[in-house]
Amino acid sequence: MNTLYWREKDAYGSFDTQQHFKANISRKKFKRLRGFDLCWELLQPLSLMVGHKSYERDRLRYCSPGQKALYMYWQFDSEVTNGGFVQFFWNGNAEYVPSLLNGLDLIGDKKMSKLVEEAYAEYQQQHSVFIQSNHLTESPLYDELETLNQMDFEYFRLHKKTIDKLEKYIKRNPEEFVEFID
């Protein structure tokens, strides 16, 4: 896979700095929150602003690269923790991969980025298997796509480290995420 070419296909890459959306939060709360709790606190207003998936491309342009990293990782995480990489790709989320990779690179998470690249390459090789299956729950996809299933274990091993890297990035760059209300 030509990673540089693929990442140039980031449909969510534009950023309108004049209309930058930021969450409102107090400095005290921002300093106190850690890891998952910090990410969730910033993701909630972001998700409300974006709304339905059909509005993502338009509304994510109001978000900084760091906010997009958080949003894309959370979209990815919600699928993989629920049904693995098989579910992530089955539900049509391959379009997120360029933004997800860009976000992982931004926060310095090379291991998760490598895993996502490998999973995407496997998805491309197995694309015909996905097309032939009518339903995820009643199909042999999970049995047939053993490599993707094995990648789920690596994802869960790396997950906490990715959240830690997101937190560090957010704490170093609060201006990308928040408007302090005090």
Report whether 109 contacts 69 (CB < 8 A): no
Q: At 39, list the tokens.
A: 């990410």
Q: What would the pLDDT profile of 60-96 be if each residue is shown by its tens digit?
A: 889 999 999 999 999 999 999 999 999 999 999 999 9
pLDDT of residue 139: 62
Average of pLDDT values for 135-153? 83
Between 60 and 41, residue with greater pLDDT: 41
Task: Give the model's confidence band at 2: pLDDT under 50 very low, under 70 low, under 90 confident, else very high.
Answer: very low
Q: What is the CATH number of domain 26-176?
A: 1.20.1420.60
pLDDT of residue 3: 34
What separation in angstroms does the CA of 84 have from each of 37, 77, 152?
23, 9, 6
Question: Does position 31 have pLDDT exceeding 50, yes or no?
Answer: yes
Q: At 153, list the tokens.
A: 């274990």
pLDDT of residue 144: 86
Average of pLDDT values for 160-164? 98
Question: Does position 36 have pLDDT exceeding 80, yes or no?
Answer: yes
Q: At 129, list the tokens.
A: 């298997």
Rounded CA gap, 70 and 173, in Å?
A: 13
Q: What would the pLDDT profile of 94-141 be if each residue is shown by its tens digit?
A: 999 999 999 999 999 999 999 999 999 999 999 888 888 766 666 678
